[in-house]
Structure 1
Amino acid sequence: MRDVTPQSRFTVRSRLLGGGVALWCLAMAAPAAAQVTSAPPPADGAATPAEPAEPTDSDIIVTGIRNTIETSIATKRNENAIVDVLTSSDIGDLPALSIGEAIQTITGATSHQEKGGATEISLRGLGSFLSATTFNGREASNGSGDRAVNFNQFPSELVSGIKIYKSQQANIIEGGVAGTIELETLRPLDYGKRSLQAEVKGNYNPYQDKIRGQGAWGWRGTASYVDQFNLGSLGDIGIAIGVQRNQVNNPEETYAAGSTYYACNPLVVSTGTCAQVTRQQGAAGAAFYLAPNSATFRQITEQDKRDAIIGSLQWKPDPTVDINLDVQYSKRNYSEDRHDLTIAETAYSLRNVVYDDQHRLVSATGSSSIDTVGNYLTRSEEYLGGGGSMNWKATDRLTLSTDVSYSQTKRRTLQRTVRLRTDPFDVNNVRTAINNQRIPFTYDTSGGFATNITLDPRFNVNDWSLFSDDARLRRDDEYKQDTIFASRIDAAYEFEGLLKKIEVGGRYSRRRYLNINDLVEITQDDRTVDQRVNNACRTAFPQAGYLKDAPGQSITSWATFDTLCQFRGYLGTEDPGIGADTRAVDNADVTEKVWSGYAMGSYEGQLGSTPVRGNFGVRVVQTDVVSLGLRSGLNVITNSDGSVRLVENDNFETQTLTNSYFRALPSINANFDVSDTVVARVAAYRAMSRPAPSDLAAGRTIALEDGTAFTNVADAIGQVVADGSPSLKPIMSWNGDVALEWYPNKDTIVAGTLYYKSFGGGFTPVLIDETFTIGGQDVVVPVTQRQNSAEKSRVYGLELTLSNRFSWLPAPFDGLGAKVSYNYADSNFKNYDIRLGDVVDPTTGVVTPGIIPAANLSGYSKHTGSGQLYYQLKGLSLEAIYTYRSRYYQDFVGGNSQLRYVRPSNLINLRASYDINRNASLRFEALNVFNNPKVTDMPVYGNSRQYHYYGPKYFVGIRVRL
């Protein structure tokens, strides 16, 4: 048996971290007591720090990573809520290539990795679906079908600041149980100076160098311009524009088992797919092991190009009016030439089965059809967002503001796939050595996460002629569109005394999510045509050293074909076009309308001798959802013996499902300036996170039983699967936070936050009887879908932040600095496996126990942390960034799938820059330096399902500022 839990490694890491923290605190405390306090200015009305008794370095212009940390510390201190910030006084100075990589250096924030880059962000170890993201205070659309934002969408060079609200306040758009991430673009008049800069970076990917016929080099170029103009009687106007071209490939090698796992009975030796154990049998003690339905080795050759533009215009016609217009646009085009080797029936005729006490399959022998599959995928994704806002100071005390915004993401993915399968005869009609369609294989995971599959040595996996049967061509065209229109109006009135300000406002938004799928499938069984195309479209295996970094691999290459050549050979065209009818049961059409309003008061005064400031208020939210879906049509065919069979037709029934809910979200924040250097914060609030739009799809897919003769229609239906659950309600939580922050000087912060979240329920599978009319007959079939459960759950956690520049060391070591952040979260939330977990009868409330354990919150990690070590001396800046995330459950977009876990990740990135002079600097970045793979498991942790290797990436370039 293997140890799949990295607990011992984490224990060592925790002890080292704890010891380091203690020593660091002592090191900071001594010089902090001796040196003069130079803290950032407090909020209005707060205690004023003591005046310095001797000159400081405040007149020195601080740049680079030190400037970013200092500015972030100052901004955090002055906030009225519990907030973490990453900002810089100069554009282009955020410490990362992408927004995602920048955010994961913020305390409590961690990212999900895709294609070697940071994408979705989780806060406080909780899933991205529990976070809200705003762009200049507005919701942003995406192309995935969930509410998480792909933070690779925009480069960090074009964003001026990132603010994460850990506690809520009433004037923030609802949606963040874990927190709200606010991205800010530059306001050129507020920036106050002219800036013209350009940066070009070359990119080297060692993994791309392994692809035959491909270059390892790419590039990215960024340019920005900021300026201000006085228009005389028309006031002042400022403009800012930034553009980027990113032509950097993302090589990837991967192995993946299928997304369906069977609970197989080890006591029954099957000649077909393994005998399955039901929930009831497993709960009664029946033995079982978990086996995937298939397994695939995948080699990918990719081309990737991205363009991004961010622009803003700020106009102040007079001191009382501030008008801002901004726009963000990005377009990404990429293609993947995929080559798969698929063991199509990994649960077929399994023998010599070894499994562990967690029901994980360790080893077995079996036999399966073997497929070589070519898949040419192209994707275009376009984002357009922006809006306009106006602030008018109507009187000395009254300010009115309004904002109108639009955000739309369009994503189209076209896949053309050709499958060739093994057969007793090769493509030349010669009997093969094995003389069977199914090839014997061994399955072994005893060596670790990398599943090792060994095929019978009589089968030469690199022989093109052995893939001769069941040619299937598929054209899969998917279009997703996510559109958000929103408007808001706000008013603020200022007072004197304890109550400083009252703010009220209202907001309306309309979001529509569309997912349209068109699938054209063509089968080919003419052996003469097979032979001609097979010989014409053969290709050498596209890369060298496939999966050489994964342990124990016996399959390192296989017979591959040119997919577009196969389409031309079989169909006479590379693209047969869309089908005559694009309706499909997995299409989605979800419209969500939200009306919200808030009232919030800000206060500032004294509690005894202690200054106190903060806010209190309530936000009320009404949400209405309409989901349109299709049910597939079936014809009932009566056989000659009187039995029946079902045949799909092109008739669809439209169904409209609705959902509506009202929520009130009270909040209070209190901040106490305990001393010149210490701030204590308390927050209590209620928060909500809505389900993803794709989770609200209304379609139903009817799976038919194998066979052609049944006594009635009900027997012919295997199961009905819900494509989504429109009745899902938002996750609601009551929250409490207590924070203590110490600011001994402008480079230093020591902060800790305790937080607690109480949830109103999780998600659970339910069986709901639905009536389907098939061939004039009403058939009642139980449909499995997810609903909110009545279970209560909670999260409690601890955040720690330590940041210090070692100015107390002698030169030149005083240029050293470091930041460490850590988050611990403990949750008892439960997500049940849709196939093998607990299931509830909503009518009777009876629970049928599942046979595998429930997962926690999607994206929940118990431990997350990051560390930055930097050195800055005159024009030289060096930085190393380490991020850690413990294992987490990751839901599939669209829900209603089996449980998937991501194993712990350890990433190290490096950055360096050198200022040649005041206008030019050399830049260097290295990502994923030690080639940390991403490993996922299903449907229990440790049962390896997939692993990805991306390799490191290196960037080197020059930036010029004028």
Structure 2
Amino acid sequence: MIGLASIGAYAADNEPEITEETEVISISGMRASSLSSINTKRSEANLVDAVSLKDIGALPDNSIAETLERITGVTADRFKGGASEISIRGLGPFLGMSTINGRAISSGSGNRSVAFSQFPSELVNGVKVYKSQSAELLEGGVSGTVELGTIRPIDYGKERLQAEAKASYADYQAKQKGDDGFGHRLSFSYVNSFEIAGDQQFGFAVGYAGGKSPRPEDTFVGSSTLRPCNSDYAVDGGSNCSFKDSNEAANGGAPENGDYYFISNMQSYRQMESVEDLDAVIGAIQWQPNSDVDVNVDAQWSKRFYYEDRHDLSFDDGRRKIHDWTVDKNNVLQSYSGETRIGNTNEYRERDEKYKGFGVNVNWQVTDDLSLIADAAYSGTERYQDRTYVRFRSKRKYFDWEKGTNGDFPNITVLDGFGGAPLESFSEDIKSLSFYNDDSEARKYRLDVEDEIKSFKLDANYFLDGAIFKTIRSGIAYSTRDHQNYQEARVSAKPADKAQALVDTEEQCSISWPQKDYGDDSKAPFTEWAAINTRCGYNIVIGDQELMPDAKSPSDGDVDLTEDITAFYLMSDFETDLGDYYLTGNVGARYVKTDITSTGVSQAYTSEVNDEGFYILTPVDGFERQRYDNDFSNLLPSLNMTLEVHEDVALRFAAYKAVSRPDMWFYGAGRDVNIDASDEGYESVEDALDDVTSKGNPNLELLESDNAEFGVNWYFGDESMLSVALYKKWFEARIGASTVMDTVTVDGQDYDAEIKNTPTIFSDESDIKGFEVSLVHQFVELPAPFDGLGFSGSYNYADSDYETPEAGSSIPEEVQAQVKPGNLPGLSEHVANAQLYWEGESVAARIAYKYRSEYLKPFGSNLGQTNRFVEGQKSLDLSLSYKINDNFTAKAQVMNLTEEPALQYRVAPGAYNQIEHSGRKYYVSLRYRM
């Protein structure tokens, strides 16, 4: 999925001209960029920031997400050492909107955010971020709208051939045995336009970018479930830890009033190799048969293949016989002892994702005053994910656990018995697969997602000769989205002869430890354990059994959604003098009607009792489809103004109503009956139905917000500017989870079951208020060569009383009430970026710093998971370039100079469920341009 952003003016049909307040950053010349930014802010009314470029492929970044982080208040979610999903002003992707050529972009997940890491920056000329809404924009951008645009060759106006070869080096990939750590990336683009018969103009553009990008990491990971316990095995006895008032730590009262601790069901040290292969193509044709008609056709195609080869040393019984525990003030474990089986868990996962997008846009200048614009487009994504899993487990061992510090992994010491001494042979024992001789299992998973958007628009622009109102713009838009998110299918099997399967796997599938220096940055207590070829071990364990999961086979966890949107807007641009002041802006309204159709599957089950006396549920053949329909509408007025009160000072104001659309997976009509939560089975049918979760709620409507912003721009030099903005957003509702009662059929009998985590709109008032400061300055007052120095920086502060309460189904309500709630998903209170650069005639250098404070990161569509938070992230990057001659330029980059780890915790600060170390990445490239 890629875009060649247009150079020069976009035609009025595809998006509004840059009539908004725009910060323009030209990467091919950072000084020119700063000057362009300042000049644009002085002349425009609306609130828009942009990265615009003179030439194709001028961006030094590796993805559009990294480019967007240059814009004031924009930050990204870090994924495997790179930037991915975008947040505007610290507000998560849930509140944002992303478009290409003014059209919505399909998604390979169940949410509406776009994985910008799939956009090759070599083929992109510019992006824009609308921080205020106006009537002609697609709805959905409470925090803002990110807009990509494809190139229009005639508007570009010249021939351009460019090719670039880029080599990458990841120091963590170089740790992989048999790998030198290098990746590559190639890009090519060509643009040309010319006259054909008569006065007709014709132009075309084509571009390709692709390559291999290694993304290795050393990881510590805990299970997605976290629960409180207050038992101590040494005092209270028992097996798995519990949360009871009879336990010693309750001090004779309610357990939530005594001491307790949060603990994960399991934890793992993970060695992993991962590589992404990307191929992307863009094409554009522009034809002007005469001066009144402009026809544009654009198409995008991309294919991403990604694999992970995981080898985990897992401690599988996270809650068993916990004793001698200590906690901090947040009830986060600092140390404890317990007993666990130790797993050798191997997983090979592949993801294949394809994107196709194309559109046709026709602009007809009917008269001197009237133009009509028609637009039709398609955007589609297909994602297929396959997981092959095989696990061998040892008999139980006692261990001591101690929390790591400063991003270090926890330290685990295995003992020779309860309260015993360290088992000296353990580090060597785990290097042999024969150590894991208690049980084994193989699993196969398959996940399919299909998302398609078809859209049609017709706009009319009429130019007035009024004293104040200069244009009337109106339009109608229709889109239909078909989203099929098939529940991940899982099948599993145990070997017919577990002892023989273990022997055969060790003999036939063992591989040498695939990495050197594992855990050297994270102080991992174990640096090596038995490793196998996952697919080889899987085949041995399943033997003659067939495990062929079919994700598209109907199940009650599927999401089958059709979303039809019809919109109409009317707006006007105005300008006038108010005494000595000059006022510009636009005013309008957008009416949006949404029709939801969601189809769910209801499935029945049979039960049987196994040899241990536990119940096992099995889905029966056949199912019943249920269709749900819902419709609603929203009216969204907007006003944007800029008032020049002085030659060097401009005031900005915006007021508008905006909406945020719930993610697609929240509109599902099914439910997930988790019958695989227990390896051993259940004590009763009712017990087996204790983990039924909703897959959505077709009756959800949009979250509305009222928004206002006031800002001041001060231009204190020809190439200097200080901008300050205050903003506030008011919400009257929030999305959260509730529990409803329904029935599940087992053995022909209906059993009452709590359907947990049903997405629900609650009538809770909240607001977000914040301010934004940005500074741009070129040090022209300094003598050469120091006059090439420049600086740009920004800081955004956002505060909200919005609450996402802790709703983890594994945490009792009385404990949930004690846990500090999360804020808006994706909201960072502090966001900052700064870059210091120097440019000469041939040499340029830039060092960039980015920071965002912690934020809530929801765990997919399951609102019943414990809250997950990403700790504050910072990165320091360096880029250099040397212009060899008019045709060749050499560039070099270093990403994550300070080797910052990525940390996530659940429920309470310090309760880490994921710690990732991915190291530095280096890039060297040579670009040819003609």
Q: TM-score scaled by structure 1?
A: 0.88
CA pair 631-297 structure 1, distance change in 2 beyond 3 A:
farther
Q: CA deviation at 1:684?
A: 0.4
Which one of 564, 570, 581 corresponds to residue 593 of structure 1?
564
Which one of 386, 389, 399 corresponds to residue 441 of structure 1?
399
Q: CA deviation at 1:575?
A: 9.0
The answer to whether residue 340 in structure 2 is matched with residue 382 in structure 1 is no
**In 2, are the aligned partners of 1:65 and 1:93 still within 8 Å (CA)?**
no
Query: Distance between the aligned counterparts of 2:313 and 2:804, measured in 1?
Result: 33
Paired position in structure 2 for 1:360: 332
Query: Distance between the aligned counterparts of 1:723 and 1:813, measured in 2?
Result: 60
Provide Cα deviations, 1:314-370, integer angstroms capped at 9, x if missing partner: 111111111111111111112221111111111111001111221111111001111
Paired position in structure 1 for 2:373: 401
Provide Cα deviations, 1:519-543, integer angstroms capped at 9, x if missing partner: 2211114022331222221122110
Which one of 547, 553, 560 corresponds to residue 582 of structure 1?
553
Query: Distance between the aligned counterparts of 2:667 and 2:353, measured in 1?
Result: 22
Which one of 141, 153, 167 corresponds to residue 202 of structure 1?
167
The answer to whether residue 503 in structure 2 is matched with residue 561 in structure 1 is no
Provide Cα deviations, 1:375-405, integer angstroms capped at 9, x if missing partner: 1111111111120111111111111101111
Secondary structure (helix, strand or coil) at the match of 2:341 reads strand
The answer to whether residue 282 in structure 2 is matched with residue 313 in structure 1 is no
CA pair 62-133 structure 1, distance change in 2 beyond 3 A:
closer
Paired position in structure 1 for 2:3: none
Amino acid at match of 1:342: S
**In 2, are the aligned partners of 1:624 and 1:660 still within 8 Å (CA)?**
yes
Query: Distance between the aligned counterparts of 1:385 and 1:908, measured in 2?
Result: 35
Paired position in structure 1 for 2:781: 808
**In 2, are the aligned partners of 1:741 and 1:752 still within 8 Å (CA)?**
yes
Amino acid at match of 1:923: K
Which one of 469, 492, 508 corresponds to residue 499 of structure 1?
469
Query: Distance between the aligned counterparts of 1:267 and 1:343, measured in 2?
Result: 19
**In 2, are the aligned partners of 1:270 and 1:350 still within 8 Å (CA)?**
no
Provide Cα deviations, 1:890-931, integer angstroms capped at 9, x if missing partner: 012223222100011110111111111111111111111111
**In 2, are the aligned partners of 1:764 and 1:789 still within 8 Å (CA)?**
yes
CA pair 708-291 structure 1, distance change in 2 beyond 3 A:
closer
**In 2, are the aligned partners of 1:757 and 1:795 still within 8 Å (CA)?**
yes
Query: Distance between the aligned counterparts of 1:185 and 1:513, measured in 2?
Result: 25
**In 1, are the aligned partners of 2:489 and 2:551 still within 8 Å (CA)?**
no
Provide Cα deviations, 1:609-648, integer angstroms capped at 9, x if missing partner: 21101011111111122222334422255999x9987554
The answer to whether residue 850 in structure 2 is matched with residue 891 in structure 1 is no
Q: Which runs of 5+ in 1 are unaligned?
A: 1-42, 48-60, 423-436, 841-846
Which one of 82, 86, 110 corresponds to residue 145 of structure 1?
110
CA pair 445-782 structure 1, distance change in 2 beyond 3 A:
same
Amino acid at match of 2:845: L
Q: CA deviation at 1:577?
A: 4.0
Q: CA deviation at 1:849?
A: 6.2
Provide Cα deviations, 1:508-564, integer angstroms capped at 9, x if missing partner: 11112212233221111402233122222112211011121014x212221111112
Paired position in structure 2 for 1:482: 451
CA pair 683-929 structure 1, distance change in 2 beyond 3 A:
same
The answer to whether residue 793 in structure 2 is matched with residue 820 in structure 1 is yes
Q: CA deviation at 1:804?
A: 1.2
CA pair 405-74 structure 1, distance change in 2 beyond 3 A:
farther
Paired position in structure 2 for 1:519: 490
Q: CA deviation at 1:848?
A: 10
Query: Distance between the aligned counterparts of 1:710 and 1:414, measured in 2?
Result: 32
**In 2, are the aligned partners of 1:645 and 1:710 still within 8 Å (CA)?**
no
Secondary structure (helix, strand or coil) at the match of 2:669 reads coil
Secondary structure (helix, strand or coil) at the match of 1:172 reads coil
Moved more, 794-803 or 766-775: 766-775
Q: Which runs of 5+ in 2 are unaligned?
A: 1-16, 416-422
Paired position in structure 2 for 1:136: 101
Query: Distance between the aligned counterparts of 2:738 and 2:277, measured in 1?
Result: 43
Amino acid at match of 2:660: S
Query: Distance between the aligned counterparts of 1:861 and 1:45, measured in 2?
Result: 29
Q: CA deviation at 1:675?
A: 2.6
Paired position in structure 1 for 2:889: 921
The answer to whether residue 220 in structure 2 is matched with residue 255 in structure 1 is yes
Query: Distance between the aligned counterparts of 2:766 and 2:505, measured in 1?
Result: 58
Paired position in structure 2 for 1:113: 78
Moved more, 812-821 or 199-208: 199-208
Query: Distance between the aligned counterparts of 1:687 and 1:782, measured in 2?
Result: 35
Secondary structure (helix, strand or coil) at the match of 1:233 reads coil
Amino acid at match of 2:96: S
Which one of 676, 698, 713 corresponds to residue 741 of structure 1?
713
Provide Cα deviations, 1:786-811, integer angstroms capped at 9, x if missing partner: 31222111100011110111111011
Secondary structure (helix, strand or coil) at the match of 1:718 reads coil
Q: CA deviation at 1:95?
A: 4.4
The answer to whether residue 419 in structure 2 is matched with residue 452 in structure 1 is no
**In 2, are the aligned partners of 1:92 and 1:157 still within 8 Å (CA)?**
yes
CA pair 132-104 structure 1, distance change in 2 beyond 3 A:
same
Query: Distance between the aligned counterparts of 1:643 and 1:943, measured in 2?
Result: 33
Query: Distance between the aligned counterparts of 2:917 and 2:122, measured in 1?
Result: 27
Query: Distance between the aligned counterparts of 1:416 and 1:184, measured in 2?
Result: 39
Which one of 914, 917, 920 corresponds to residue 952 of structure 1?
920
Query: Distance between the aligned counterparts of 1:862 and 1:832, measured in 2?
Result: 18
Paired position in structure 1 for 2:420: none
Q: CA deviation at 1:679?
A: 1.8
Paired position in structure 2 for 1:7: none
Identity of aligned pairs, percent? Answer: 34
**In 1, are the aligned partners of 2:769 and 2:800 still within 8 Å (CA)?**
yes
Provide Cα deviations, 1:234-259, integer angstroms capped at 9, x if missing partner: 61111122111221211111110000
**In 1, are the aligned partners of 2:780 and 2:788 still within 8 Å (CA)?**
yes
Paired position in structure 2 for 1:40: none
Query: Distance between the aligned counterparts of 1:717 and 1:230, measured in 2?
Result: 71
Paired position in structure 1 for 2:633: 662
**In 2, are the aligned partners of 1:837 and 1:852 still within 8 Å (CA)?**
no
Which one of 581, 604, 611 corresponds to residue 633 of structure 1?
604
Query: Distance between the aligned counterparts of 2:571 and 2:818, measured in 1?
Result: 48
CA pair 396-214 structure 1, distance change in 2 beyond 3 A:
same
Secondary structure (helix, strand or coil) at the match of 1:697 reads strand
Paired position in structure 2 for 1:930: 898
Paired position in structure 2 for 1:413: 385
The answer to whether residue 37 in structure 2 is matched with residue 68 in structure 1 is no
Q: TM-score scaled by structure 2?
A: 0.90
Paired position in structure 1 for 2:301: 329
Secondary structure (helix, strand or coil) at the match of 2:240 reads coil
**In 1, are the aligned partners of 2:835 and 2:848 still within 8 Å (CA)?**
yes
Provide Cα deviations, 1:488-514, integer angstroms capped at 9, x if missing partner: 111111112201111111111111221
Provide Cα deviations, 1:715-750, integer angstroms capped at 9, x if missing partner: 653232113333333221100000111234553221
**In 2, are the aligned partners of 1:477 and 1:519 still within 8 Å (CA)?**
yes
Provide Cα deviations, 1:802-859, integer angstroms capped at 9, x if missing partner: 011111101110000010111000011111222269999xxxxxx9963422100111
Q: CA deviation at 1:152?
A: 1.1
RMSD: 2.8
**In 2, are the aligned partners of 1:639 and 1:709 still within 8 Å (CA)?**
no
Q: CA deviation at 1:574?
A: 12
Q: CA deviation at 1:576?
A: 5.2
**In 2, are the aligned partners of 1:862 and 1:886 still within 8 Å (CA)?**
yes
Amino acid at match of 1:584: S
Query: Distance between the aligned counterparts of 1:890 and 1:960, measured in 2?
Result: 41
Amino acid at match of 2:80: K
Secondary structure (helix, strand or coil) at the match of 2:750 reads strand
Paired position in structure 1 for 2:825: 858
Secondary structure (helix, strand or coil) at the match of 2:733 reads coil
Moved more, 805-814 or 258-267: 258-267
Secondary structure (helix, strand or coil) at the match of 2:897 reads coil
Query: Distance between the aligned counterparts of 1:570 and 1:46, measured in 2?
Result: 62
Provide Cα deviations, 1:57-86, integer angstroms capped at 9, x if missing partner: xxxx99532233333444444433111111
**In 1, are the aligned partners of 2:638 and 2:655 still within 8 Å (CA)?**
yes
Paired position in structure 2 for 1:28: none
Moved more, 266-275 or 602-611: 266-275
Amino acid at match of 1:121: I
